[in-house]
Structure 1
Amino acid sequence: MCGITGWVSYERDLRGEGATLDAMTETMACRGPDDRGTFTDRPAALGHRRLAIIDLPGGRQPMTVETPNGTVALVYSGEVYNFTGLRRELKARGHRFTTDSDTEVVLHAYLAWGDALAERLNGMYALAVWDGRDDTLVMIRDRMGIKPLYYYPTPDGVLFGSEPKAILANPLARHRVRLDGLRELFAMVKTPGHAVWDGMHEVEPGTVVTVGRYGLRRRVYWRLETRPHTDDRAASVAAVRSLLEDVVRRQLVADVPRCTLLSGGLDSSAMTALAARQLAEHGEKVRSFAVDFVGQTDHFVADELRRTPDTPFVHDVAHACGTDHQDIVLDADALADLDVRAAVIRARDLPVGFGDLDSSLLLLFRAIREHSTVALSGESADEVFGGYLQFFDEEARAAETFPWLVSPARRSGEEQDVLRPELTEALDLEAYVADGYRTAVSGIVRLDGESDFEYRMRRICHLHLTRFVRILLDRKDRASMSVGLEVRVPFCDHRLVEYVYNTPWSLKSFDGREKSLLREATRDLIPKSVYDRAKSPYPSTQDPRYAVALQEHAKDLLSRPGHPVFRLVDRERVRQAARRDTPQITQTSRRGLERTLDLALWLDLYSPELSLT
């Protein structure tokens, strides 16, 4: 796992731009605390920060190969889990290797197959190859978009980086956000390719972007496709179990300490149990970590989303699987700390967070990093297997919009926006979301004979796998990599995603519950308490002291009436939320305060040029 960046300019000699390349590279130091390297050719400059996971001494980057017609150089972030099989295939073709790293396999795979290597990779990756044989840059991103990669076209080339901050460190990149960027920031829809910053783009998942003297072209090498599913229930359950066992086995490979993220839900429990069983074959124990809050279990109050506290279920799994377990217990002061909030924004480069969910995730990862370098997560199982409430909510099912936007708060009219009314009008998020939804569903293929209901559920599953999951994957990548922790996501293996996506909803929910296939496929591995537990999202603190701390921070901000955040948020609405009595501070009020504080810190840290017209 690493951070990559670079600059291609066909009209200048970048060998004299070392200071700028260094500045771009050092923004990725958090992603790669173990090593750094740069490569410069006349029109190309590549930077790399390394988090050493496999072949610690041998995987240094940028990695190069000299050919008779020019140098080929690679910078690569992520892990390719099938690299040993690819190495065997490449050796049979005459390639010779000097390291045991997956990086060298990826480089030789490019020499063998060009950008068609993308179709052969299994893993999470974002990579860039400078091919000096024809002076082209090839950028490739994994199928599900687990690893981020951004680019910024310039008049004579391109800038690129794992995160926007690497690109923004180059003087050619303008720090500007237009209305369309703010729409993306506030709409919760994740438009493919959109990067919020004006002029910047994401390399879309499953896509190759090639830059040459002729310009830029894109090639989609993978997309989620509709296919008939012919397996019955028993065969489907068996196929899911077989895929899960293979995926977890592949993703446990590392030369550094590993662990699992354990929430006590079905997803993380099944993944932890599989890892525990496989490592036990080699006499090893799994380390597991869970987040908790001071007093949460003893004073838990159920709501529509979270019916039970996590900790009792976490401990059931840790005991049943024999893991070396540790709870990371956080208090309200730590969650509300402005330095933590600022760290979250620096990690994301944008104020697009989830409030205390983001703060606790970052603090959890900081604590885990003291013990492990690699963590396996249950992220994305809800999108793959159909775990969210909106999959079962009739109004969300029927709505002609993104189903996760059909929330109870919106239906009850409780949803409150702290944005200035004139900005809300200019943004017109309703139209933006409607346009995005029409685009998102336009290419979803319906099977011959598929019922209206099954096609409706196919569309909901497709939206979650191609739009919603990318919000959560980006969040997890940024939070983990900001502390140098590699988080792997077994449920995003594209083979598993393809198989389960094409199982009809009647199979995904054959027992009338969420994630029926996953539950049945792992029922022999998990405690009965977890098998019977209803879906519970990532936990949020219920400590009223957190809300009080938010109010105090908001009052400090209100004492600075000239702060630029008040170009965006309505001062009076913020004042009302900051003065509300503690029992009246709802989750909605908290969100308004959190959004205001996030925006204010983002403006302080990045000083973006905002174009509000």
Structure 2
Amino acid sequence: MCGITGWVSFDRDLRAEKTALDAMTETMACRGPDDRGVWAEGPAALGHRRLAIIDLPGGRQPMTAGTPHGTVALVYSGETYNFTELRRELTGRGHRFTTDSDTEVVLRGYLEWGEALPERLNGMYAFAVWDGRADKLLMVRDRMGIKPFYFHPTADGVLFGSEPKAILANPLARRRVKLDGLRELFTMIKTPGHAVWDGMREVEPGTVVTVDRDGVRTRRYWELETRPHTDDRDTTVARVRTLLDDIVRRQLVADVPRCTLLSGGLDSSALTALGARQLAGDGEKIRSFAVDFAGQTENFVADELRGTPDTPFVHDVARTSGTDHQDIVLDAQALADPAIREKVVRARDLPAGFGDMDASLHLLFRAIREHSTVALSGESADEVFGGYLQFFDERARTADAFPWLVTMGRHFGEDADVLRPELNRSLDLPAYVADGYRDAVAGIRRLDGESDFEYRMRRISHLHLTRFVRVLLDRKDRASMAVGLEVRVPFCDHRLVEYVYNTPWALKSYDGREKTLLREATADVLPRSVYDRVKSPYPSTQDPKYAAALQDQARDLLARTGHPVFDLVDPDRLRRAAEREAPMTGQGDRRGLERALDLALWLDLYRPEIVLD
């Protein structure tokens, strides 16, 4: 796992631009604390920061291969889980390897298969190849968008990086955000390709972006396709288990300490149990970590989102699977610490607005990094198997809208609550979201003979797998890589995603419960308590002291009357939230406060030019 960056400029020799390349590369230091490297030749310059996971002595980057017609250079972030098979095939084709790294397999794979390489990869990755034989750059992103990748076209080429901060470090990139960028920021729909920053784009998941003297071209090598499902129930359950066993086995490969993120829910518990069983066969014990809040288990109050505290279920799994377990217990003071908020905003390059859930994720990962370098996460199982409330909420099922916005709107309210009324009118978020929804559902193919209900559930699944999950994957990547921790997401394996997506809802939830296929496929390794547990989202603190600390910080912000945040935030609305006397124990109560504080900090740190016309 690493951070990559680079610059292609067909009108200059970038060997003379070392200062700018170094600055871009150093912004990725947190993603790659173990090593750094830069390479430049003519119109191309590449930078790399390395987090060593496989072949610790080898695998240094940028990695190059000389050919009779020019140099091919690679910077790569991520993991290719089928690199052993690919290496064997490439060796049979005459390639000779000097390292044991998956990076060299990707480089040699490009020399052998060219632009057809991505179709052969199983993994999470974002990589760039400069092909000096044809003076062209290829930027490639994994199918599900697990690893982030951004680019910024220039007058004579392109800037790119794992995160926007790498691009913004180059003088050619302006720190400017227009209305459309704010619209994307204040919604939760993840428009493909949108990067918020003006002039910047995301390399879309499952695509190859090629840059040469003729300009920029994009080719999609993978998308979520509709296919008939012919397996019966027992065969489907067995197939899911076979895939999970293979995926977990591949994703446990590392030359550094590994662990699992354990919440006590079905997803993380299944991965932990499968991982523990596989490592036990090798005489190893897997580590597991969970986040908890001081006093939460003893004082937990059930609500519509969370019916039970996590910790008792976490401990059941740890006992059943024999993990080496540790709870990471956080208090309100740590969660509300402005220094932690700053780290979160810097990690995201944006005021993300997830509040204490972002803070707790950062603190959890920071604590884990003291013990492990690789962690397996249950992220995306809800999108793949259908675990969220909106999959069962009739209002969300039948609305011509993003289903999570229908459900979440009842719990969290609108992000726009603290924005200035005139800004809300300019943004017109309902129209932006409606346009995004129409674009999102336009290409979803219906099977011949598929019922109206099954097609509706297919659309909901497709929206979650192509829009919603990308919000959460980006959040998890940034939070983990900000502390040099690699988080792997087994449920994003494209083979599993394709298979389960095309499984009819009647099989995905044949007993009327969420994630039935996953529950039955892993029933033999789960404690009964977890098998029977109802879905509970990522935990959030209920401690009123956390909200009280936010109110104190909001009052301090209100005292800074000339702060540019008040070009966006209505001070009267923020003041009402800051002076509210009723206890605020839920996320919805605090959302306006957290959004305003995040925005103010982002403006202080990044000094963006905000264009409101």
TM-score by length of 1: 0.99
**SS of structure 2 residue aligned to 1:48:** strand
Q: CA RMSD in A?
A: 1.1
Q: Deviation string for 1:543-574 (max 9, x for gaps)? A: 00000000000000001000000000110010
Whole-Å Cα distance in 1 between the matches of residues 341 and 413 of structure 2?
28
Whole-Å Cα distance in 2 between the matches of residues 415 and 109 of structure 1?
45
Between 1:585-594 and 1:363-372, the stretch displaced more is 585-594
Whole-Å Cα distance in 2 between the matches of residues 216 and 113 of structure 1?
21
Whole-Å Cα distance in 2 between the matches of residues 497 and 188 of structure 1?
22
Q: Deviation string for 1:207-235 (max 9, x for gaps)? A: 00000011110000000000000001000
Q: 1:406 Cα shift?
A: 0.5
Q: 1:583 Cα shift?
A: 2.0
Q: Deviation string for 1:353-384 (max 9, x for gaps)? A: 31000000000000000000000000000000
Contact 2:186 2:416 in 1 (8 A): no
Query: What is the aligned partner in structure 2 of residue 100 from structure 1?
Result: 100
Query: Does residue 438 of structure 1 match 2:438?
Result: yes
Query: What is the aligned partner in structure 2 of residue 270 from structure 1?
Result: 270
Q: 1:587 Cα shift?
A: 3.2
Query: What is the aligned partner in structure 1 of residue 231 from structure 2?
Result: 231
Decide whether aligned partners of structure 1 residues 416 and 157 sit closer, same or farther in structure 2, where only a CA change above 3 A counts. Answer: closer
| Structure 1: unaligned runs, 5 residues or longer | none
Contact 1:297 1:309 in 2 (8 A): yes
Query: What is the aligned partner in structure 1 of residue 359 from structure 2?
Result: 359
Q: Deviation string for 1:466-519 (max 9, x for gaps)? A: 000000000000000000000000000000000000000000100110000000
Contact 1:409 1:415 in 2 (8 A): no
Contact 2:544 2:584 in 1 (8 A): no
Query: What is the aligned partner in structure 2 of residue 511 from structure 1?
Result: 511
Contact 2:415 2:592 in 1 (8 A): no
Decide whether aligned partners of structure 1 residues 297 and 584 sit closer, same or farther in structure 2, where only a CA change above 3 A counts. Answer: closer
Decide whether aligned partners of structure 1 residues 114 and 413 sit closer, same or farther in structure 2, where only a CA change above 3 A counts. Answer: closer
Query: Does residue 118 of structure 1 match 2:139?
Result: no
Q: Deviation string for 1:411-447 (max 9, x for gaps)? A: 8978871000000000001000000000000000000
**SS of structure 1 residue aligned to 2:525:** coil
**SS of structure 1 residue aligned to 2:375:** strand
Decide whether aligned partners of structure 1 residues 114 and 278 sit closer, same or farther in structure 2, where only a CA change above 3 A counts. Answer: same
Whole-Å Cα distance in 2 between the matches of residues 364 and 413 of structure 1?
27
Contact 2:130 2:137 in 1 (8 A): yes
Whole-Å Cα distance in 2 between the matches of residues 301 and 73 of structure 1?
55
Whole-Å Cα distance in 1 between the matches of residues 543 and 583 of structure 2?
11
Query: What is the aligned partner in structure 2 of residue 407 from structure 1?
Result: 407
Query: What is the aligned partner in structure 1 of residue 534 from structure 2?
Result: 534
**SS of structure 2 residue aligned to 1:484:** coil
Whole-Å Cα distance in 2 between the matches of residues 525 and 137 of structure 1?
46
Decide whether aligned partners of structure 1 residues 611 and 275 sit closer, same or farther in structure 2, where only a CA change above 3 A counts. Answer: same
Whole-Å Cα distance in 2 between the matches of residues 130 and 36 of structure 1?
18
Q: 1:407 Cα shift?
A: 2.5
Whole-Å Cα distance in 2 between the matches of residues 317 and 585 of structure 1?
28
Decide whether aligned partners of structure 1 residues 513 and 148 sit closer, same or farther in structure 2, where only a CA change above 3 A counts. Answer: same
Contact 1:168 1:175 in 2 (8 A): yes
Query: What is the aligned partner in structure 2 of residue 257 from structure 1?
Result: 257
Query: What is the aligned partner in structure 1 of residue 426 from structure 2?
Result: 426
Query: What is the aligned partner in structure 1 of residue 135 from structure 2?
Result: 135
Decide whether aligned partners of structure 1 residues 565 and 414 sit closer, same or farther in structure 2, where only a CA change above 3 A counts. Answer: closer
Whole-Å Cα distance in 1 between the matches of residues 264 and 410 of structure 2?
29
Q: Deviation string for 1:167-221 (max 9, x for gaps)? A: 0000000100000000000011100000000000000000000000111100000
Whole-Å Cα distance in 2 between the matches of residues 190 and 488 of structure 1?
21
Letter in 2 for 1:327: D
**SS of structure 2 residue aligned to 1:113:** helix
Q: 1:589 Cα shift?
A: 3.1
Whole-Å Cα distance in 1 between the matches of residues 505 and 322 of structure 2?
34
Query: What is the aligned partner in structure 2 of residue 486 from structure 1?
Result: 486
Query: What is the aligned partner in structure 2 of residue 350 from structure 1?
Result: 350
Query: Does residue 217 of structure 1 match 2:217?
Result: yes
TM-score by length of 2: 0.99
Query: What is the aligned partner in structure 2 of residue 340 from structure 1?
Result: 340
- In the comparison of the two structures, how many residue pairs are matched? 613
Q: Identity percentage over the alignment?
A: 79
Contact 2:177 2:611 in 1 (8 A): yes
Whole-Å Cα distance in 1 between the matches of residues 412 and 274 of structure 2?
41
| Structure 2: unaligned runs, 5 residues or longer | none
Whole-Å Cα distance in 1 between the matches of residues 408 and 211 of structure 2?
46
Query: What is the aligned partner in structure 2 of residue 374 from structure 1?
Result: 374
Query: What is the aligned partner in structure 1 of residue 544 from structure 2?
Result: 544
**SS of structure 2 residue aligned to 1:138:** strand
Query: Does residue 153 of structure 1 match 2:153?
Result: yes
Decide whether aligned partners of structure 1 residues 586 and 514 sit closer, same or farther in structure 2, where only a CA change above 3 A counts. Answer: closer
Query: Does residue 603 of structure 1 match 2:603?
Result: yes
